Structure 1
């Protein structure tokens, strides 16, 4: 179970470091070709989502790696689940049901990571 946690957590962390970094640092014009929803969401909210994704990525890796407050990894995974719930809701509200596949996969991976995290606490 520990190996499975580290594999999924590492993959999620890499994804969220990339996606969160883009949202936190790039302009709306640069984000728009990749993330069409940023035209309807205020940029401060896009930045907050990016920072939360970066914190979630760090939370999946650093607490269990250091042994300091490892329960934060579970909290981070649950936070990433909630981000994806919001992403799914946003896509559905825009009539983009065909685009929620990645959100569902990320939600499932984050939920699995949260569950796997409970096995070593």
Structure 2
């Protein structure tokens, strides 16, 4: 699976890492650590499950960064929301092809403009 290695959520950058046998050893699909700004995803689950786990952990991180700690800790809400979010991206190709990928973009690190195309970035949604 070709997951991104980093995501920016608000002012924070979270690293994303595939962890060998995370599910086998800890029965986890993924986990977010807010203080370390890391998201880990099990490498011993299907590609579809990895993508869904990434959206799940991203939802936790988004809610944490917005300061909504009650929802952030509400596993039932996060599960329902992230499942729907995963499906929206899977069913609406235009979200990752063209509309969000083409055109001028500002590189946040260098503050330089560049053109991003979907072919250059990771395709995280499995067929």
Q: TM-score if structure 2 supplies the norm length? A: 0.25
Give 1 or 2: higher helix fraction.
1
Higher relative contact order (CA 8 A, sep 6+): 1
Give 1 or 2: higher strand fraction.
2
